[in-house]
Structure 1
Amino acid sequence: MTSGVHVRDAVLRRAVDLDRQPEKRQPILGAFSVAGYPNLRSGVDAFVTFAESGAGMLEVGAPTADPWLDGPAIAAAHGCALRAGDGVSVTLETVRRISTRCDTPVVVMSYWSTIQAIGPQRMADELASSGVSGCLVPDVPPERVEAWVAAAVEAGISAPLLANRDASYAELGDICRAATGFVYAPAVGGQRTGYSAGIDLDGLAAFVRAVRGLAPSTPIMTGIGVSTPELASAIVRQVDVSAVVIGSPLVRALHSDTDGLHQTAGVVKEFVAALAAGGAA
């Protein structure tokens, strides 16, 4: 494998960082759904629709039996996808199919239990072979972070990590310095996806500044609780992030009894327009 940052990691960084120049501050939209939801073919169609509608990054959730970070809508999608087959296999096949239809960077979001069951190096290698740019693991045990990041580097993909808002400064520093590709800074602390009770923008801005100080050259994404386009626009006006990620609004639209793909396309376009308006403010 090549040393340093692999080409796929470089592509991901360019997509989310935009060189950090003032005239190129337009944050991108990351669009999340669960691999295999509502089924393999329709799930792939959904991700391609996200990309065609303006999403700058696709986040593919690896189905798991215990999605502890996810709220009801996404947790139900995990359960639906698992009923159709093995979560890892459907994730890899989803990424392979997406990669043949669009060139938008793909990041897999996987819980540590899945990584541990397969083995970190094998999982990283299989993900790389499928075409991912990186794999976000929100719950890597502190004592396994170094080994996981090394496995990702060996495979040639990035290893984004979640910056826990409840972590000590020392723990936060370890995570931020270890992460490659980007750092995921939750918009709210202690909440699951689908949270819709509002976001403390001042608190989020302060947290992102702390992360930026610990990892000045690493792009920062935020998500969880970004329930409306208006809130996404407010975030990018006030908070220095390279991307905003949404998931629950898309999964709920896919679950609609009417044309789910058409609805998700509309949701993505609304959020992309909101980010553009906020970034231009």
Structure 2
Amino acid sequence: MKKLNIYFTAGVPEPESTPEIMKLIQEAGADMMEIGMPYSDPVADGPVIQKAHELALNNGMTIETLFSQLKTVKQEINIPVILMGYINPVLSFGFENFCRECSESGVSGLIIPDLPPLEFEKNYQKVLKQYNLNFTFLVTPETSTERIQYLDSLSSGFLYAVSSSSTTGKENVVLKNEEYLNRLASLPLKNPVMIGFGIKSKQDFENVTEKADGGIIGTAFVNILLQNKDWRKNAIDFINSVKD
């Protein structure tokens, strides 16, 4: 069974929406969820998720608030919860303190795209292991085979294969990049490969998961939260449409 990972930004559309969205994602049949920690300069993200970060910050969402919300639903969420964000706010919070809070809040792993692998190995890997947290690195079509294997060796949980080197939410012909998907599938990787960026429909999900272990949907889901007053029903319908 191919795994579906749904991303959304904490604190959107309302400051207190996060626990409800977490339960909705689980009940609708997703296999894991990725929660974005709002940041003022989300460089890897396209306009939709940038807008979500801005709204979340305006709503007063902070890392502290997020952890307190996660703890309220910790006993109800049975699928993996991954936090995704940028290194500066995590360092401001205190890295070990952050990992401790993750462990106490039911978080199973982290994705921090701007944390360099060498720095990860030198300064952070031991702390993550101490708190039993997975860490996922990203690879792109331009990443060399040698580096893919290196990043896979550092990762745990899964390897995040970006469908292109653009920001999130772009229309991607790369979803059909057979050479890239074949190369990933042929490598003796220790982690499952999840494809992200540009997946907007069941057809996209099926295309990428022919050669990968799962897909990550972010922009299309966040768009529902941002644009529609009836977001609850539409969010459930969207996840069902991809999984059915």
Tell me the TM-score normalized by structure 2.
Answer: 0.91
Question: For each residue in 1:49-71, what CA deviation from the matched residue of structure 2 results, as whole angstroms up to 9, or x when unmatched?
Answer: 11101001011111111111111
SS of 1:101's equivalent in the other structure is: coil
Matching residue of 2:69: 94
Amino acid at match of 1:205: L
Question: For each residue in 1:13-60, what CA deviation from the matched residue of structure 2 results, as whole angstroms up to 9, or x when unmatched?
Answer: xxxxxxxxxxxxx11110110111112322321221111010010111
- 1:22-37 alignment, distance < 5 Å: 26-37=1-12
CA distance in 1, matches of 2:37, 2:113: 12
SS of 2:82's equivalent in the other structure is: strand
Correspondence for 1:187 among 163, 181, 187: 163
Q: Is the 8 A contact 1:54 1:268 kept in 2?
A: yes
- 1:167-186 alignment, distance < 5 Å: 167-186=143-162
Work out whether 1:106 is the aligned partner of 2:81.
yes
Matching residue of 1:8: none
Question: For each residue in 1:163-186, what CA deviation from the matched residue of structure 2 results, as whole angstroms up to 9, or x when unmatched?
Answer: 244334443332111111111111
Correspondence for 2:238 among 244, 257, 267: 267
Matching residue of 1:61: 36
Amino acid at match of 1:159: F
Q: Is the 8 A contact 2:100 2:131 kept in 1?
A: yes
Matching residue of 1:256: 227
Q: Is the 8 A contact 1:59 1:109 kept in 2?
A: yes
Question: For each residue in 1:94-114, what CA deviation from the matched residue of structure 2 results, as whole angstroms up to 9, or x when unmatched?
Answer: 322332332121111121222
Correspondence for 2:138 among 162, 167, 192: 162
SS of 2:60's equivalent in the other structure is: coil
- 1:1-281 alignment, distance < 5 Å: 26-146=1-121, 147-188=123-164, 190-198=165-173, 199-209=175-185, 212-213=187-188, 215=189, 217-237=190-210, 239=211, 241-273=212-244
SS of 1:245's equivalent in the other structure is: strand
The offset of 1:235, in angstroms, is 1.7
Q: Is the 8 A contact 2:134 2:157 kept in 1?
A: yes
Count of equivalent residues? 242
Amino acid at match of 2:57: L
Q: Is the 8 A contact 1:195 1:227 kept in 2?
A: no
CA distance in 2, matches of 1:166, 1:154: 33
- Structure 1 residue runs of 4 or more that deviate by more than 6 Å after TM superposition: none
Change (3 A) 1:225 1:82: same
Q: Is the 8 A contact 1:28 1:243 kept in 2?
A: yes
Amino acid at match of 2:229: T
More helix by share: 1
CA distance in 2, matches of 1:235, 1:169: 19
CA distance in 1, matches of 2:207, 2:180: 11
After TM superposition, the structure 1 stretch with the greater mean CA deviation from structure 2, 143-152 or 177-186, is 143-152
Amino acid at match of 1:151: V
SS of 2:11's equivalent in the other structure is: coil
The percentage of counterpart residues that share the same residue type is 23
Q: Is the 8 A contact 2:140 2:163 kept in 1?
A: no
Identify unmatched segments of 5+ residues in structure 1: 1-25, 274-281
CA distance in 2, matches of 1:116, 1:149: 14
